Amino acid sequence: MLGMPLAAAAQDDVIANAGQASVTRSDIATLLKSIGDEGRTRLVADPAALERIVRAALAQKAVYAEANAKGWDKQAAVQTAIEQARREIIVRSYLAAVNAPPADYPSDAQIQETYDQNRAAFTAPRALHIAQIYVAVAPNADAATIEKARKQAADLASRARNGDFAALAKANSDDKASAANGGDMGFVPEAMLLPAVREVADALKPGQVSEPVQTPAGFHVVRLIDVRAAAPRPLAEVKDRIREMLRTQRTQQGIQAYLAKLGGNAPINEDALRKVLAAAQ
């Protein structure tokens, strides 16, 4: 529900709020589900990007609440756009429903065949198991603030080499999600890591801790835990993904055939069409 008042959500469910608009854990969970595994992994490796998403969602809700308060949705042009969007949603939903494949499609044999023919597509990329202590720096920070953060990160790096990295991350990291796990970010595909972090992590041996790595969002103190080489994912791991892919393909094929059947042979009044085009120029 857009523009939900803060009072409507439990305090511990609210991630951010501005006036009568709030972003909840449910909002972000829905968004993370929609972007898929790759997008979620990228956000784990870049906490500043997740913060930007939260702020963008909050700004959108705040604008929606402001527009609603002014009755913006009552304008004729807005009403027309809403009705068009409503029609498109109904059409997409209906087409997907009437062209859904049988419940038993695809068979195990079809899944196996797809897996065998596309093994490269189901290869897990090389991944680095890392932990980090993150010291955030605001985008508009001045030189003195940046230098203070650098010194803090350098001190934490030095202490981490001779102490308990996990305890330091829990107490000091500004990436709260990984801090709760002692800074452990799990295995992150190397392509998902920030380039500067990836370069430094690649030069470490398991167990080593880096010097502070500066990125536009702040400083990262990285500990390499393990490296996992690229390797084919077993069928059991990707079976559900293949099933959904094949079902989606079958649905799209059905939709195209259904649309062609309904409108593919309908006569076109070319004279009237040319007049419309001429009037639009």
pLDDT in tens, 210-251: 999 999 989 999 999 999 999 999 999 999 999 999 999 999
Structural domain spans, the chain? 6-74, 126-229
Assigned token pair, 214: 């500066």
Task: Give me the numbers of helices (H) and strands (E) for the chain, helices first please.
Answer: 10, 8
Question: Model confidence over 88-100: pLDDT tens digits?
Answer: 999 999 999 999 9
In the chain the beta strands, taken as DSSP E runs, fall at: 14-18, 21-24, 123-124, 127-136, 184-189, 213-215, 218-228, 231-232
Q: Is the pLDDT of residue 75 over 60?
A: yes
Q: Does domain 126-229 fall into CATH 3.10.50.40?
A: yes
pLDDT tens digits along 8-51: 445 558 888 887 788 888 888 888 888 777 777 777 777 788 88
